[in-house]
Amino acid sequence: MATLRASSIAYGSKARERLHIDVIPNLSCRDRNLLALQSEIIGADILGHHSLFIITGDAPKDRSGFRPVWEVNSIELCGVVKGLNGGTAQVRGGGQAIQGNTSFTVGGALVFDRPNEQDTLRKKVDAGFDYFISQISFDAEQATDFFSEAEERGDRVDRHVQIGLAPTSTPRRLRAVSQMPGIKIRDTTLEKLEGNPDFVDGVVSHLAEVADELKSSLSTYSIGFHLMPIGSDEATHRLVDELT
């Protein structure tokens, strides 16, 4: 979202050290040129990370005092990571052997309702992406329609997909989420959730139902759920309990 945050690689290393779990740092193409991106990637390997989630990055709303950098997009950067896995870096427009090699799997973003997303997904698969995490969804049909359309095109989704679920803490936050790029929440869903006297309980119940429907309708695919808390750890913990 083009806001200042600590390095995800450094922060992820601390989280892994403290919690003893695997961590997947998020790497945006917007913030560094290709040389700096490769430096970050090699640094992540040195720190023991084995997977990266790569996005091209949103354009900053306010460009005063902040200069975005897009030397590569996410598809191109995935190819660079795969090159580093093979022991080759991209320097001065060509390949250069490095000492040793990295060993990353690479995740990419999936936005079910984005125009031409089927074609983009195929390009990402061809580029070497190993798995995908979708944008936040409050509607099971968004995902099921996307998978069905791919089947009809003869291009079945053959990568693991983590479908984004966002337990939110207040109606105001839910409205804010609904206005984020790539997120569509039906008016009927907004009205149902906002009208619940126990908002958090309503959100948790709704997302649990969405998850159940997806597990049933997409049972022949490799799917999971990526939880993105929006202001409520409590709602996230409750949703985890529901899903397990």
What is the reported pLDDT for 63?
A: 65
Q: Between the CA atoms of 52, 53, 54 and 60, what dihedral angle is there, to the nearest 10 degrees? A: -130
Q: Residue 2 above 70 pLDDT?
A: no
Q: Indicate whether 158 belongs to any domain.
A: yes
**pTM of structure:** 0.92
pLDDT tens by residue, 10-68: 999 999 999 999 999 999 998 889 999 999 999 999 999 999 999 998 777 766 767 77
- Domain stop point among 84, 110, 136: 110
Task: Give the number of domains in the chain.
Answer: 2
60 is a domain residue: yes
Q: Using one digit for the tens of pLDDT, what is the confidence trace for 204-243? A: 999 999 999 999 999 999 999 999 988 878 899 999 999 9
Residues 125-139: pLDDT tens digits? 999 999 999 999 999
Domain that holds residue 103: 1-110
**Residue 208: CATH number of its domain:** 3.20.20.220
Mark which of 110, 130, 163 sits at the end of a domain.
110
Q: How far apart are CA 69 and CA 8, in angstroms?
A: 18
- Has residue 52 been placed in a domain? yes
Answer whether residue 117 is part of any domain: no
CA nearest to 132, candidates 150, 158, 102, 152? 158
